[in-house]
């Protein structure tokens, strides 16, 4: 999806709004979208994520073994809300600065097939957006989400988080089972084909045998589909991330295809 979004500006804005939202939430307030967490757990999570990716870029890490050494440990977690807030703000500012100072084409390790700083810029803008929503839901003060960023979020979640498979696997498409996903406010459209995935992960030896999967076309060719899902960019981005949309997306067409797609994404994103 071609985009001229300023991911760095979005990252800074969403990170600041996350911080602001959690100031209104007690430490032990439950996070409704992540029920195993309280507000301080959410704060610790995003602080750790931003600290990790900032260090990946700052140190020029290009392989998984080195990246694994940068994971924060719960033993390092500050014991107080004030300590957590300080760690978050330091980590967030450092991530923003190093991403600003580093060319997006620079090679960097990521868990994705795309190994660039540009991927990290985009991914962290969306990470901050989704967790800002989590923070606002925790504090009981939900605010609007940027439509253009959410439309790009739909593109990312479909193509990268659900449709992006490792090179060691095999994907088999079922061309007779397709869905069109459309944003009603930004004009976005994605052709999704149901698929099956098989392969053995060389890192841990785990085998995936004929698992449900999807494939998303680079651009929507406008061909006929068996089903359609449509909604605003914000609602679709939230729905795909298993966050509550303001309005449930509309579904039309072959019920079995819709159910198969929703079953495929129902387990969420690890």
Q: Indicate the fold that domain 7-143 takes in CATH.
A: 1.20.120
10-residue stretch averages of pLDDT, the chain, 270 residues long: 82 98 95 97 98 98 95 94 98 98 98 96 98 98 97 97 88 96 97 95 89 94 96 98 97 97 80
Give the per-residue pLDDT at 2.
46
Give the per-residue pLDDT at 268.
63
Give the per-residue pLDDT at 254.
97
Please check whether residue 141 is in contact with residue 252, taking contact to mean a CB–CB distance below 8 angstroms: no
Report residue 229: phi and psi, to 5°: -125, 125
Q: Running DSSP on this structure, what letter comes out for residue 30?
A: B
Average pLDDT score, the chain? 95
Q: Among 3.30.1050, 1.25.40, 2.150.10, 1.10.1740, what is the CATH number of 160-265?
A: 3.30.1050
Q: State percent of the chain over pLDDT 90.
A: 90
Give the per-residue pLDDT at 203.
82
* Sheet of 189-200, strand order: 207-216, 189-200, 169-183, 227-231, 250-253
Domain extents in the chain? 7-143, 160-265
Q: How far is CA 46 from the centre of its chain?
A: 13
Give the per-residue pLDDT at 1.
45
pTM more than 0.85 = yes
């Amino acid at each position: 999806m071609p985009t001229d979004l300023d991911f760095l500006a979005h990252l800074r804005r969403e990170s600041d709004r996350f911080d602001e939202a959690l100031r209104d939430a007690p430490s032990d307030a439950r996070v409704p979208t992540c029920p195993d967490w309280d507000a301080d757990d959410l704060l610790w999570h995003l602080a750790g994520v931003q600290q990790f990716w900032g260090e990946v870029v700052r140190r020029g890490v290009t392989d998984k073994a080195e990246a694994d050494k940068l994971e924060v440990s719960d033993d390092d977690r500050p014991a107080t809300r004030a300590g957590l807030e300080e760690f978050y703000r330091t980590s967030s500012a450092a991530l923003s600065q190093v991403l600003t100072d580093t060319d997006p084409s620079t090679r960097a390790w990521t868990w994705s097939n795309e190994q660039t700083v540009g991927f990290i810029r985009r991914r962290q803008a969306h990470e901050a957006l989704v967790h800002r929503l989590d923070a606002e839901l925790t504090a009981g003060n939900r605010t609007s989400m940027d439509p253009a960023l959410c439309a790009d979020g739909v593109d990312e979640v479909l193509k990268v988080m659900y449709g992006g498979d490792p090179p060691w696997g095999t994907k088999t498409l079922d061309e007779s089972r397709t869905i069109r996903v459309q944003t009603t406010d930004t004009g976005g459209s994605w052709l999704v084909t149901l698929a099956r995935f098989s392969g053995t992960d060389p890192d841990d030896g785990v085998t995936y045998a004929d698992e449900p999967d999807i494939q998303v076309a680079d651009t929507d060719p406008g061909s006929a589909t068996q089903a359609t899902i449509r909604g605003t960019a914000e609602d679709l981005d939230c729905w795909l991330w298993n966050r509550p949309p303001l309005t449930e997306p509309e579904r039309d067409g072959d019920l079995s295809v819709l159910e198969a797609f929703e079953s495929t994404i129902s387990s969420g994103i690890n």
